[in-house]
Amino acid sequence: MSDRVIISLAPVAADCPRVEPNEVADEILACVEAGAAIVHLHVRDPQGKLTPDTRYFEQTIAPVMAQSDLIIQASTGGVSQMTIAERCAPLACRGVEMASLNVGSVNLGDNVYFNPTPDVEYCSRHIVERGIIPEFEVFEIGMINNILALQDKINFTQPMLFNIVLGHRGSTPPTIDALIAMRSMIPRDALWGITHFGRRDFGLIAAAVGMGACEVRIGFEDSYYINASETVTRNVLLVEKLATLIRSQDKEVATPEYARKLLNIRHR
C-alpha cells in the first residue's frame, strides 16, 4: 500500500474552445506548487481540437520544463478521426517522458473510443522504443487482460502503471464495487491509480487512496466540480483539495522527484 500519492494533472477540458499555450503553462505551474507531479496533455490546436500538429503542445511544455521538474505525459488517445500514427505524434516531442496508452475499444457516451489491437501494438512499440513510460488507461476489466497478453510481445518497463477510469456513460460505473473489481484484476506487483472523471464529490478518490492507489488524476479534462454544486475556474483549486484529502489519510503528496524514482523516469 502506497504511503505517498502522485497527483497527475489533466488541465484542459475536451470541450475547451480556446487553448493558449502560455495560459495553460501558467496553470500547470501553479498546480506544481500545490502538489502536482505529472501533467497529462493532449495535443490540441488553439480552438481545442485534437491535432497531430505538436507546435502548440511544445510551446506549452517548454516553460513548464524550464521552471519545474514536473513529469510530462502526452496523451495518445482521445475520440477523433486521427490515425494511430497521428495520435502518436507527441511521442517525438522533446521532453515527453510518459504517455497514456489505451488498450481496447469502449463506448464513451454516444461515441466509440476505437482502439483495435493493431493500433494498440503500434502505439506500444513506439512508446517502448523511445524509452517513454506508459500509463495504461483501463475502462473495463477486459483491458487489463489485453495489457497482460501484450507483455508477450512488448517488453514494458516495470513496474507497470494502470489508471482505472470509471464513470463514462456506456462503460464501467463509478462505484466502490466496480473499483474493487477492477483493482482485483491488476497484478499485485503493478502500480495503480484512478482518474477523477465526471465526479462531483471526492468519495471515490478517497476510497482509492485508502485502498493504496499511488496516483490520482484530476483536472478540467475530467471534471470542473469541486463539490456537488460548485464548479471552479482554476485547476489549482482541485489540486489543493486533493492534496488536503491525501494528507487527511496520513499519506504524503508525492514530489516529482519521488514519482520519477517510483516510475523509473530519469531526471531531465
Q: Are 205 and 196 in contact (CB under 8 A)?
A: yes
0.85 exceeded by pTM: yes
pLDDT score at 234: 97
pLDDT score at 268: 78
Q: What is the 3-state secondary structure (H, E, C) of 92-155?
A: HCCCCCEEEEECCCEEECCEEECCCHHHHHHHHHHHHHCCCEEEEEECCHHHHHHHHHHCCCCC
- Cell representation of residue 264: 523509473
DSSP structure class, residue 191: E
Alpha-carbon span 186 to 164, nearest angstrom: 10
Q: What is the pLDDT along the chain (268 residues), one digit of tens a residue?
A: 679 999 999 999 988 999 999 999 999 999 999 999 999 999 999 999 999 999 999 999 999 999 999 999 999 988 888 999 999 999 999 999 999 999 999 998 898 999 999 999 999 999 999 999 999 999 999 999 999 999 999 999 999 999 999 999 999 999 999 999 999 999 999 999 999 998 889 999 999 999 999 999 999 999 999 999 999 999 999 999 999 999 999 999 999 999 999 999 988 7
Alpha-carbon span 47 to 160, nearest angstrom: 34
Q: Are 218 and 245 in contact (CB under 8 A)?
A: no
pLDDT score at 1: 64
pLDDT score at 80: 86
Alpha-carbon span 141 to 178, nearest angstrom: 10
Alpha-carbon span 171 to 266, nearest angstrom: 35
Q: What is the 3-state secondary structure (H, E, C) of 12-62?
A: CCCCCCCCCHHHHHHHHHHHHHHCEEEEEECCECCCCCECCCCHHHHHHHH
Alpha-carbon span 125 to 220, nearest angstrom: 30
Alpha-carbon span 186 to 141, nearest angstrom: 9
Q: What is the dihedral of CA 243, 246, 252, 254, to 10 degrees?
A: -60
Integer CA distances (angstroms), 144 to 8, 60, 77, in order: 21, 32, 17
The pLDDT tens digits of the residues spanning 244-254 come to 999 999 999 99
